[in-house]
Structure 1
Amino acid sequence: FMLLCLFLFLLFYTGEVISVNNTPAIIQQTGIKTAKVGETVTLSCSCKHDSVTHMFWYQQSLGGKPHMISKRMKQSTEAEISSAYEKRFQVLARSGGSVNDLIITDLLALDSGTYYCVVLRNAVIEFGQGVFLHVKTSPSDTQSSIQQPKLQLLRPGESVNLSCSVYAERCAEEPNLYWLRHEELQPAVMYPSDRHCTSALNGTFNGTYCTSNLELHLVRSSDAGIYHCALASCGVVVFGEGTKVEIVVSLLLVYCLSVALMVFILGLLVLSSLVYKLKLTPLSSCTGEVRHYCLLPEKQAESLHYAALNLKRRDNRQRQEDIENVCVYSGVRSRK
């Protein structure tokens, strides 16, 4: 029991040390943040490590490459803003250098994308988990729309094919479709999507009709969340309302697993108790005769000595008195 407690303590202590050593250098807002055109938004970021020397902000539009917005030394409160962002973007840096918030004013539709807080630490560049900023436009500014189911219930191990229907405005660019998973306190996860588009003429709408599917194989509890179908077209990003995927676990399965766990723990306790009692129980002597028989060649049989042992149970006092009278017989064979 003491060894088990010591093992658990060492395991807990080791886990604590590993968690401290693996503490991320960047504390950044994650998930999906939604704002409207013309509003002002603040994206938070901070850093606690003294080994960090520089801090940056990067923007990555859907399907594009990351572009640097700003950079500054950690101990400085002034940031250098790239020319493409200097009019509406600014960095809020406080004394001490740990805060590196990004403020965007007068939001535009093209500001939609993933924003990464980046640090330079021990000559290595580290990216934060990123936050996806969705800038919503007025319905009158675009005719694009997305339709997708609201709820999908699944059991662990099942597979599903999420789908969405998209009406995209006709423009010079081809419409691009994406899937993003949103879950509280978790970074937004982007999935590639296959699209099938055809020309559509529906009343006053003259554009492109597309369908997109996302296959989820052998789902687990970690796959739960809201899956948004996103359209990037004509410089605008349009989000669907999202399909909420819930992983439903059978109550019977939970009950059976709980009972099995309880039986296992009880069995382990009983086994530990039996082992403990066996260790405390003294070994008793036995009564009987032990004889050994050997078959040897005739030449060796002449020099062989036989001994018979008679074991009888005696009390401790008598055994102590007879210790000095115990004889040990052995046979010695010599060459003639």
Structure 2
Amino acid sequence: MSREVHQIESFKTAKLGETVVMKCSTKSIWSSRVWYKLGTNRSLQLLASTANVFEKRVLNRYSIQTSPNETIFTIMHMTAEDVGTYYCGILSSFNVSFGSGTVLELEGESKPMQSVLQSPDYIKVQPGDSVTLNCSFNTNHCSQDHTSVTWVKSSASEMISWNDINEIVCDLKNTEESGCVHNMTLSNITSSADGTYLCFLTFSLFISEKRHLSCRHSVFQSLNF
């Protein structure tokens, strides 16, 4: 089965002040498009979204162009803060599909991103073991009923997504906010499970309007053998 989202380049370098262009091709014509950045501090940030057909969400210095089967994301005036891994995604209902990521480094100055993604948090397991990953977040932005969690496994060879809207457990803190956690258990682990696991939130307030967040307290964990 071919991938829904294909990022053209897996690695790019740029000099300070340069314009950076990243492209991804998609099989789905009508899905909304998003671009996320996973920074060197392992924080996840939504940079651009076409989820609302009436208003594109694009942060400063970025631009997004879409055609039926392609999305072009542009960074103006490259800075050191732009170093990270960029993920192109398509959204359909509660489902999120991502490309394998494009690593962006500052030419001549950045260290390989792989060392950042694998450290400091990791879980050491043996073949046949089971392990539970968790993502915690607050529901002050949306209700539990309208929240979906997607786990994405990123490795050198593939990008895999798991989506489940039924395994979110919340503890009410006050009348406006509750703390929630989503657990994903991997059983009978093999060497193919090795990789970095990312947690994404998607929520919907109305059928006609989709909004998208990154998990503020995401747990980015990598399994190593």
- For Structure 1 versus Structure 2, the TM-score category normalised by the shorter chain is 0.3 to 0.5
If the length of structure 2 is used for normalisation, what is the TM-score? Answer: 0.47
Q: Which structure has the larger Rg over C-alpha atoms? A: 1
Q: Which has the higher helix share?
A: 1
Structure with more relative contact order (C-alpha pairs < 8 Å, separation 6 or more): 2
If the length of structure 1 is used for normalisation, what is the TM-score? Answer: 0.34
